[in-house]
Structure 1
Amino acid sequence: MTLTALTLDPGRVSLAQLRAIHAGGVRLALDAATAAPMQAAQAVVQRIVDHDEVVYGINTGFGKLASTKIGHDHLAELQRNLVLSHSVGTGEPLAPSVVRLVLATKAVSLARGHSGVRLALADALLALFNAGVTPVIPAKGSVGASGDLAPLAHLACVLIGEGAAQLPDSMGGRTVPGAEAMRAIGLEPFVLGPKEGLALLNGTQVSTALALSGLFGAENVFASALMSGALSLEAIQGSIKPFDARIHAARGQPGQIAVAGAVRALLEGSGIVPSHADCGRVQDPYSIRCIPQVMGACLDNLAHAARVLVIEANAASDNPLVFTDTGEVISGGNFHAEPVAFAADIIALAVSEVGAIAERRIALLLDTGLSGLPPFLVRDGGLNSGFMIAQVTAAALASENKSLAHPASVDSLPTSANQEDHVSMATFAARRLADMVNNTAVVVGIEAMAAAQGIELKRSVSSPRSSVRIEAEFARIRERVAFVERDRYLAPDLEAMRLWALKADLPDALLNILPSHA
């Protein structure tokens, strides 16, 4: 596979670049201008060591033990011990796509020139990335303050020849010890210098990577839900009038305006819309009529979260930070992931609402009194149950997401003998997004399948067709799942449509309103 070269300019890495990193297929390098500030910051740290000044993180203990001074002869051991003692994560390993973001954003953070570490460390992170070597990072064990200490320790372990990493298929695809993984990319394990272990462990990169992964998944199911909603509108022969641009301009909410415009673009040229202009229906149910208002609010949430996460992906979130203009090393709290936790929480709200309104449209399609379609979207009802229980599955998943959407950031448990007495829980806030996105993808996939069924139930040789964009998507759905003529084993169909919703291979009219595509 040909890899696209991508140069990372710390402080200016874009959301589109982060999405490309998450997807894979890129080869990363740091901008050459990063070398000088990194070297200058390392020189500040070395001066402190040479002058035997006492500075947290360089020659002291950590956390509650910060007042303990460490002798010069033990500084390398101090950093190694820090990494080893903090490698206490548990749970399944992070997905390779998430680890790619962790490697890239940790390299970017170090390359901001405030961590005081060698350029070689940042380069080694990108060497792992470029070789397709994935450090094994357990998903659980961080409270999102003092950085993502445990998961980042597992990453740092690989650099020092400990821990484990997954080799790519081209190298055998095995999980190997960290030392073997390093040698597989032509590097010897590092002996960490002053502050280097702490710099690798401190930071919000795991929480941020998980939240970005959740954001990209949320974007996909959001766009797919706009398509499935437009299909449902056509299936019930709903009104396009609530999508009139003047209505949304009168309110002024940007997401609402964008969503209404996207749906109008999808339905432009539809023959179904004018065919029922005089049907006498006054208003459609809210799940159809208020698509712009509900989905627009979700889009605004995603856009705000995206802005926060791009800033964080470019941030120096180490502690303490080195400032080369004055030669100071200052302790602060940039490791506290509260912004990431809030961003993840509002992504969760959006994902939950996307699934909730899609589930209501499924129920609408199945209710013959509201949709005008055969009960449960199948002929010979009674003998056949059609989509009856598929809607139950959608309801179960939409309900599950409502529980998962409870804000994680409102929780806090003190750690480190109350030195770290307020934490963000950002890692869990971000980690649960994968389950929520997957749940919503199933719901949206069921809606799209049900809407296609409804359109086909009303369709005859002479009946009008929808727009070019809707008909093209209808055909793509039919490539994945067949019309339900009679009851059959539907589980494979739901899986095929889940993948359809997650892939979001959709018209530009939808993709262009998403934060990472804009």
Structure 2
Amino acid sequence: MMELTPSIDSNQGQVILDVNSRVTLQDLVRVARGFATVSAEHGVVEKIEKARQVVDHFINESAPPIYGLTTGLGSLKKVRVSNELLLDYNQAVIMDHAVAVGPEAPLDVVRGTMFARLAALATGGSGVTPETFLGLLALLNSGVIPVVRMLGSVGEADLAPLADIGTVLIGKGEAWYKGTRMQGDLALSKAGIERLTLQPKDGLILVGANSFSAAVAGIALWDIQRDAQWSEVAATLSWAAFRANSSTLNVDIIRQRGPEAVNVGQRLLAMLHETKYQPQSIQDPLSFRCIPQVHGALAGAIARTETAVLAELTHSLDNPMVDVSANHLFSNGNFDPTEMVLHCDSLRNALYRIIVMLERRAGKLLSSHFSGLPTGLTSAEGYSGLDILPYTLISLTGEATRLAQVAAVQSGMAAEGIDDIGSSAAQSAINLRKLESIWRTMIAIEMVVAVRALQLADVKPGPFIQQIKDTLEAVIDGKETPAEKVRAIEHFIQSNDCFQVGHLQ
């Protein structure tokens, strides 16, 4: 079983779902990693009940057929399901869609997925029964974590991974409870939860969303926002150690590249405040000179991706969707998350550019020709020092190259050709999470290199640089190999706010 990533404290209190507010990435992470409980205000349940009344109106033999309510799914959309079989049919929907394979999803992803589905259901457009909504809510709050497999979604609703959660709700499948893996019915029993008897449409509602993809992307995005700050710190340490020319941080000039680039330039200047050195060149390599512009582009990509991810978390995108005012259910294609996929793809591309710049900067610091410091940043003749770290950076950059590629639209056909495209949302989000992990490791490597370079360079650090340098030196104190130092710093940056460490407002 994969462990939760320790980026937010546990015991994060309570997240409240209500009809007037929208959840945030922080809410998602508080529930996913901090085990915050979730509650729904009475207005949410009332809204769900009203939508369900619309659904119930169409569960009779004389009403026109409604997809997924009184008919089969996919290629079976023309098959009318008799009223006496509807309950059995909805249990079968869950079991038949439980086709996910591959490695188990991390626990934070599973909890995040359940929360994402609840947040969307709370908007009232799905027509879910209150009992199923409250059953999923109880499952999340109980600490029961279904075993969910990572592979199987093509991105037109995460049918397969969401079905893994649904199997536990009906007393099937497998789950973790208090650190022990067990059958779903036993987990429910130990947690004091009644297994659900799904009502008409409940089966489709539980699987018919992109909650898995949105949770993976949202949690990765939270980590990326933290990493972006530390990456700027690492770049600033490298800047000082390289004795780069600060004339390129003129914010009046950078302003032509927009407010995000200006903000980065201003933060670099603030971090470099009172740092004294003699610039070694009138014009530095691009990996130094273009930090504000490229990191500014990353900031813009992060903001746009957050908007797209939150749209998946906070809207009812079910098909068919309930319109209470019209007293009807409407077939639609809102479950297609192409907008989120495009932004995740763009963000991975932006991250890749940051990664390439990072690899180049570290390489320049380790090269005497560029930095003027001993090759490998060694302090004794004949020792390699950190000269082998570029091998690791090159290897990681190669893996990042693969992960940065655009998620291809699925070209296969399912449901006898009815489901003939797929957005690849899950693949795009999973690759974003993987790329974030690689980037975090590379930030730690740049810090190891930059701290060592600062120890050798003719630089008088200002207060922020000195504080960060002292802190990182303490983190790696006693670590013998470069890899041990990298792991120590990586763990540190996962758990700390960079500006609080360096006392920068």
In the other structure, the counterpart of 1:505 is: 497
In the other structure, the counterpart of 1:341 is: 341
**How far has the Cα of 1:119 moved from its partner?**
1.9
**How far has the Cα of 1:254 moved from its partner?**
2.5
- 1:56 aligns to what SS in structure 2? coil
| 1:60 to 1:419, Cα distance in 2 relative to 1, 3 A | same
**How far has the Cα of 1:134 moved from its partner?**
1.1
Could you state the TM-score of these two structures normalised by the residue count of structure 1? 0.91
Q: 2:264 aligns with which of 259, 263, 268?
A: 259
Residue 150 (structure 1) aligned with residue 160 (structure 2): yes
Give the superposed CA RMSD.
2.1
8 Å contact 2:260–2:299 — kept in the other structure? Answer: yes
In the other structure, the counterpart of 2:475 is: 480
8 Å contact 2:138–2:193 — kept in the other structure? Answer: no
The letter of the residue matching 1:36 is: E
Rounded to whole Å, the distance in 2 between the matches of 1:510 and 1:286 is: 26
Describe how 1:103-142 pairs up with structure 2 within 5 A: 103-142=114-153
Describe how 1:273-292 pairs up with structure 2 within 5 A: 275-276=277-278, 279=279, 281-292=281-292
The letter of the residue matching 2:18 is: D
**How far has the Cα of 1:226 moved from its partner?**
0.6
In the other structure, the counterpart of 2:14 is: 5
The letter of the residue matching 1:58 is: L
Rounded to whole Å, the distance in 2 between the matches of 1:420 and 1:81 is: 20
| 1:408-440 Cα deviation digits (max 9, x unpaired) | 044433222110111101101111222211211
- 2:329 aligns to what SS in structure 1? strand
**How far has the Cα of 1:22 moved from its partner?**
3.5
The letter of the residue matching 2:24 is: S
Rounded to whole Å, the distance in 2 between the matches of 1:203 and 1:60 is: 19
In the other structure, the counterpart of 2:7 is: none
Q: 2:43 aligns with which of 29, 33, 38?
A: 33
| 1:379-427 Cα deviation digits (max 9, x unpaired) | 224x211112211101110121112111004443322211011110110
Residue 435 (structure 1) aligned with residue 434 (structure 2): yes
In the other structure, the counterpart of 2:106 is: 95
In the other structure, the counterpart of 1:470 is: 465
8 Å contact 1:394–1:443 — kept in the other structure? Answer: yes
Moved more, 322-331 or 404-413: 404-413
Rounded to whole Å, the distance in 1 between the matches of 2:293 and 2:244 is: 16
| 1:100 to 1:405, Cα distance in 2 relative to 1, 3 A | same
- 1:44 aligns to what SS in structure 2? helix
8 Å contact 1:166–1:176 — kept in the other structure? Answer: yes
| 1:318 to 1:425, Cα distance in 2 relative to 1, 3 A | same
Rounded to whole Å, the distance in 2 between the matches of 1:130 and 1:269 is: 50
In the other structure, the counterpart of 1:328 is: 328
The letter of the residue matching 1:456 is: Q
Rounded to whole Å, the distance in 2 between the matches of 1:408 and 1:60 is: 33
Describe how 1:189-338 pairs up with structure 2 within 5 A: 189-249=195-255, 251-270=256-275, 272=276, 275-276=277-278, 279=279, 281-338=281-338
Rounded to whole Å, the distance in 2 between the matches of 1:110 and 1:491 is: 45
The letter of the residue matching 1:247 is: I
In the other structure, the counterpart of 2:3 is: none
Describe how 1:174-185 pairs up with structure 2 within 5 A: 174-185=180-191
**How far has the Cα of 1:494 moved from its partner?**
2.1
8 Å contact 2:468–2:502 — kept in the other structure? Answer: no
Rounded to whole Å, the distance in 2 between the matches of 1:499 and 1:157 is: 35
Number of residue pairs matched by the alignment: 494
Moved more, 135-144 or 49-58: 49-58
The letter of the residue matching 2:314 is: N
In the other structure, the counterpart of 1:392 is: 391
Describe how 1:67-86 pairs up with structure 2 within 5 A: 67-86=78-97
Rounded to whole Å, the distance in 1 between the matches of 2:424 and 2:204 is: 20
8 Å contact 2:90–2:201 — kept in the other structure? Answer: yes
8 Å contact 1:86–1:149 — kept in the other structure? Answer: yes
In the other structure, the counterpart of 2:52 is: 42
**How far has the Cα of 1:252 moved from its partner?**
4.3
| 1:309-330 Cα deviation digits (max 9, x unpaired) | 1111101121111111111111
Rounded to whole Å, the distance in 2 between the matches of 1:131 and 1:209 is: 19
**How far has the Cα of 1:159 moved from its partner?**
0.6
| 1:111 to 1:52, Cα distance in 2 relative to 1, 3 A | farther
8 Å contact 2:409–2:422 — kept in the other structure? Answer: no
**How far has the Cα of 1:25 moved from its partner?**
4.1
In the other structure, the counterpart of 1:516 is: none
8 Å contact 1:265–1:509 — kept in the other structure? Answer: no
Rounded to whole Å, the distance in 2 between the matches of 1:483 and 1:385 is: 19
8 Å contact 2:12–2:30 — kept in the other structure? Answer: no
8 Å contact 1:149–1:201 — kept in the other structure? Answer: yes
Rounded to whole Å, the distance in 1 between the matches of 2:504 and 2:106 is: 27
8 Å contact 2:413–2:419 — kept in the other structure? Answer: yes
| 1:195-249 Cα deviation digits (max 9, x unpaired) | 0000000001001111112212222322211111000011111122211221122
- 1:6 aligns to what SS in structure 2? strand
Moved more, 323-332 or 50-59: 50-59
Residue 374 (structure 1) aligned with residue 379 (structure 2): no
Q: Which runs of 5+ in 1 are unaligned?
A: 514-518
**How far has the Cα of 1:512 moved from its partner?**
11
| 1:107 to 1:446, Cα distance in 2 relative to 1, 3 A | same
Rounded to whole Å, the distance in 2 between the matches of 1:405 and 1:280 is: 34
| 1:266 to 1:349, Cα distance in 2 relative to 1, 3 A | same
8 Å contact 2:25–2:222 — kept in the other structure? Answer: no
| 1:338-368 Cα deviation digits (max 9, x unpaired) | 1221122122112222221111110110111
- 1:388 aligns to what SS in structure 2? coil
- 1:412 aligns to what SS in structure 2? coil
Rounded to whole Å, the distance in 1 between the matches of 2:478 and 2:358 is: 20
The letter of the residue matching 1:185 is: A
- 1:85 aligns to what SS in structure 2? helix
Residue 457 (structure 1) aligned with residue 456 (structure 2): yes
- 2:396 aligns to what SS in structure 1? helix
The letter of the residue matching 1:428 is: Q
The letter of the residue matching 2:475 is: R
8 Å contact 2:154–2:410 — kept in the other structure? Answer: no
8 Å contact 1:266–1:509 — kept in the other structure? Answer: no
- 1:49 aligns to what SS in structure 2? coil
**How far has the Cα of 1:20 moved from its partner?**
2.6
Rounded to whole Å, the distance in 1 between the matches of 2:425 and 2:281 is: 47
**How far has the Cα of 1:51 moved from its partner?**
5.4
In the other structure, the counterpart of 2:351 is: 351
